[in-house]
Chains A and B, each alone.
Chain A
Amino acid sequence: MIRFENVGMRYGPDREVLRDLTFELEPGSFQFLTGPSGAGKTSLLRLLFLSLRPTRGLIKIFGRDVASLKPDDLPALRRRIGIVFQDFRLLNHLTLYENVALPLRVRGHDEASYRNDVVDLIKWVGLAERVHSLPSVLSGGEQQRAAVARALIDRPELLLADEPTGNLDPNLAHRLLRLFVELNRSGTSVVLATHDVSLMERFPARQLILQDGLLDVVEVAA
């Protein structure tokens, strides 16, 4: 589904933040992306999300060589990827319902066709009581779950989550992990960037460990 070959990336003239990355993401796979702060996790997620281009190497996403993509090709590919940003990126003037429904709305779906699904998903992430609330009155954990719901609403083939449990207490973090696992079982590939060792211990899965821009892939038997 996604293939990196000798990928390197730098910002401007500085040294490379990612060096010689070679790995593949299989359909239906689950992996943690981990490593110390500043190791390049967010940059790698941005490469996977097509919001950055590599400085060298080959990246193929859904069979397309990223180097040959035109700007107008990106939205269609991004629609196959769901992303949970570390800082949530909810729109503060829209209600929780409208934020979660946003990907479907911008893709031109009729609201009648998705209204029930959005409400169900909001309930599923435990925010049924907050459906009309604006993000500004939601707690960090609630915003986190709203961001997860928005990433999931159109059933992405690949889910990228940047520290999705960073604002949650351990109990809620484990529940959210169960949600990702359940999603993975339904066929979605998941890349979950996290520092949380307890999460990785609770759910043994493949680990992509970034250290000083270099990637180490640890296969973990389920």
Chain B
Amino acid sequence: MTATKGPSRSQRSFGKTGVAGSSAGSSVGASAISLLASLFSGLFPNQAGSSSIVPRSSIAGSALAYLVCIMAFLASLTLGAVSMVSDTAKGWQNDIAQEITIQVPPVEGRDLEVDLETARQIVSAQAGISDVLVIDAAASTALLEPWLGSDMDLSALPVPRLLSVSIDATSPPDFIALKSALAAQVPDASVDNHTLWLDRLSGMADATVLAGLVVFGLMLLATVLTVIFATRGAMAGNSDVIEVLHFVGADRSYIAQQFQKHFLILALKGSAVGAVNALLVFLFAGWWSQAALSDPRSDQMSAFFGSFSVGLSGYIGTVLLVFVIAFLAALTSRLTVMRHVGTLDGSAKR
């Protein structure tokens, strides 16, 4: 409850009579007005609690929230997919870069097993080698089964034998020295450090990530355009509010701020719901891929997609996306209001 000190603005300015009529207006003394005002003061909310200048609910506003929600969901999924491909490609590259293969073909007049053992000793002696594994004949033959079938007798074929060499990625061996050492004692052995594979794989991964980023960029652009059109639609419904604010002396930035705040909150809510749903999809996909790892059929899947889970960058990107979309909606509404207010004074110009 507040009490007025001295004459109020209306007492100073508007006289005593008023439209209520002389019988009512003139009989109301300062103390009664103060009492009335103090009664009302408890009923009125404070500045922060006053009704929003921009109407909170409108069909266009709800449509905008749903649109932002859907666009945020799709954009988050795209971002998550890009993050997953990028992380998986890096995993492939790391795995392959840590291994080389030495192929020793059967040559007439030479003992293949001796050549293999010689090659193993030469390679093991090199610096930067952490492990050398000789792939036995049965395993080498098994590698051909997918192409030649299991019924065929492969013992007659000159199937080369392989050495799988793990290298220390932090201090890799000198491949030129390794090749020349092998060439001196096992001249037919060939060293494959997967450079070709790596180049192709990283090219494919880069292309996939780039395509994903382009799709993500298009999603963002579509989101911005959607927000622009939906915001303009919502604005059209509020043009009377803008005009009244303008004509009672509000400056453009004040009006823009009111709408900007309104649309920022609206878009934050919409995009947060969309992003949370996308995060749930990521978590479910991660859980599903983990649960499916025990299934032998998932081996190929996991070989390609790792654990089929979105990395930290995907989660961080999704959270950031919420704010980016909300910022874009607020910015769009601000620019739209500024432009609209500008047109209110622009007609019938010289």
Contacts and interface: CB of A to CB of B under 8 A. Distances in A.
Interface in B9-41: 9-11, 13-15, 17-21, 24-25, 28, 33-34, 36-37, 40-41
Taking each of A50, A79, A152, A179, which has the highest tally of chain B beta carbons within 10 Å of its own beta carbon? A179
Contact of B8 (A107, A117, A150, A182): A117
Contacts of A123: 18, 20, 25, 28, 33, 36
B51 A106 contact: no
A90 B241 CA distance: 9
Interface stretch (A28-36, A69-77, A197-205, A206-214): A69-77
B19 A126 contact: yes
A119 B40 contact: yes
Interface in B50-80: 50-51, 53, 55-56
B57 to A, nearest CB: 9
Given A10-B348, A116-B2, A102 B248 contact: yes
Contacts of A75: 246, 249-252
B344 A51 contact: yes
Interface in B275-312: none
A94 interface: yes
B251 A72 contact: yes
Given A93-B51, A116-B2, A183-B14, A124 B20 contact: yes
Contacts of A54: 348, 350
Contact of B247 (A49, A53, A112): A49
A64 interface: no
B44 interface: yes
Contact of A116 (B37, B241, B243, B244): B37
Nearest to A103: B248
A95 B250 CA distance: 19
A125 B17 CA distance: 9
Interface in B302-350: 342, 344-345, 347-350
B252 A97 contact: no
A93 B4 contact: no
A12 B15 CA distance: 44
B40 A131 contact: yes
Contacts of A11: 347-348
A71 B36 CA distance: 41
B103 to A, nearest CB: 78
A91 interface: yes
A127 B241 CA distance: 23
A145 interface: yes
A78 B7 CA distance: 26
Taking each of A75, A105, A112, A145, which has the highest tally of chain B beta carbons within 10 Å of its own beta carbon? A75
Nearest to B249: A79
A124 B247 contact: no
Interface in A1-16: 9-12
B155 interface: no
Given A78-B249, A93-B55, A119-B36, A102 B244 contact: yes
Nearest to A182: B15
25 contacts: A11-B348, A49-B247, A52-B348, A53-B345, A55-B348, A56-B350, A75-B252, A97-B40, A98-B51, A102-B244, A102-B245, A103-B249, A106-B53, A112-B2, A115-B40, A116-B2, A120-B11, A123-B18, A123-B36, A131-B40, A178-B17, A182-B14, A182-B15, A185-B15, A186-B14
Q: Which 6 A-B pairs have the closest CB atoms?
A: A124-B18, A126-B20, A120-B10, A117-B9, A106-B250, A116-B37
Interface of A: 9-12, 49-56, 67, 71-72, 74-76, 78-79, 83, 85, 89-91, 93-95, 97-98, 102-103, 105-108, 110-112, 114-117, 119-121, 123-126, 128, 131-132, 145, 150, 152, 154-155, 172, 175-176, 178-179, 182-183, 185-186
